[in-house]
Amino acid sequence: MTHAKTVRRWPRFTGWPVAAGVALCLGTGTVHAQQSLQNPPPPNSEASPPAASPTATTTAPAMQTPEPNTPVLVVDMRWEADIRRDVDAAHDLQPRAQADERKAGGDVTQSKVNLEIKRKELDALKDQLSLVKKQGNQSEFATLDRERGEEELRIKLLESYVAVRESQVELARARRQLADTSLLALESELEMSKKRTAWQSMTQQSGATAASAQDIVSLQVNIRSDERRVLQAMKVRSKQAEEVAEKDSQLIDRQLGVLEADTAIQQFGTRAH
């Protein structure tokens, strides 16, 4: 009898535009237990996509169970070559994520410097405006007052830029943590796959002795423990993907704030003329 369960699949690691978007739209796939191992699909079939994602896109049949009462296998069995390719992709993604985080931090610092300069310029303009007011020069006062209004709007624009840069730091950090958790889950899956391959080889041997039967049972227990570890790592990764989505949405909101601040400056200039 074939048992079926639904589990999450891993997103494709092909760069931030895909990793950030697809990571948030995890698909589902069916896990088949106690499936026959005869005629497995070739791991490098021409029909396979050129770049497999870190999910079970190239799924080998699940292992046969030696006894009818053996628990079903929850995690898809994948070819080790596919898992290794996904591990390599995750390794490549880590330094890229770290570099993005460092760059975003530098952008925040520069944005805050620009904001502080503009605030000092506004303070100087206010001092000049106060002096002109005391002198009773109404024409110059009106001109400086318009400049003050525009400078205040520009400060709001720079404040919006700072908020955007800070969101970019948070998003880059979340993406870096997502890369870390993805790598951990993939490495755990690779270790489990090795044990599954060994289990398959042992169960296909003829004339198994009592000692080998004990080895099979022991290995099966280890595999079940590995399945739990892999699923827990997948759960952590799923939560991290949700955080990436949240930070990405926050960044978009703040970018909209920049547009609104810039629009306010344009409208002020129109009214002034």
For 25-63, the pLDDT digits (tens) are 333 333 333 333 333 344 444 434 444 344 433 444 444
Instruction: With beta carbons less than 8 A apart as the criterion, state whether 53 and 33 touch.
Output: no
| Confidence check: pLDDT of 164 > 70 | yes
Q: Please give the biggest Cα pair distance in the chain.
A: 109
- Per-residue pLDDT, 64: 44
Residue 273 confidence (pLDDT): 58
pLDDT at residue 136 above 90?
A: no
Query: Whose CA is closest to 190, among 86, 94, 91?
Result: 86
Q: Is the pLDDT of residue 7 over 90?
A: no
Q: CA geometry: angle at 39 spanning 36 and 42, to 5°?
A: 120
* pLDDT over 50 (residue 68): no
Report all structural domains of the chain as residue ranges with CATH numbers, in order of start.
Answer: 79-272 (1.10.287)
**Beta-carbon neighbour count of residue 256 at 10 Å?**
12
User: Can you tell me the distance from the alpha carbon of 162 to that of 121, in angstroms, rounded to the nearest whole number?
Assistant: 18
In terms of DSSP bridges, do strands 28-32 and 4-8 run parallel, antiparallel, or are they unpaired? antiparallel
Task: Please give the radius of gyration of the chain, using alpha carbons only, rounded to the nearest integer.
Answer: 30
Identify any residues that bridge with 4 across adjacent strands, giving them in sequence order. Answer: 32
Higher local confidence (pLDDT), 30 or 111: 111
Tell me which of 159 and 209 has the higher pLDDT.
159
Q: Where are the alpha helices (DSSP H) in the chain?
A: 16-22, 80-135, 138-203, 210-272
- Among the ranges given (11-15, 92-96, 190-194, 227-231), the one the predictor scored with the smallest mean pLDDT: 11-15
Say how far apart CA 101 and CA 198 lie, in whole Å: 41
Cα gap 200→120, rounded to integer Å: 72
pLDDT value of position 211: 52
What is the pTM for the complete model shown? 0.66
**Mean pLDDT score across all residues of the chain:** 76
255 and 163 Cβ atoms separated by less than 8 Å:
no
- Cβ atoms within 10 A of the Cβ of 23, count? 25
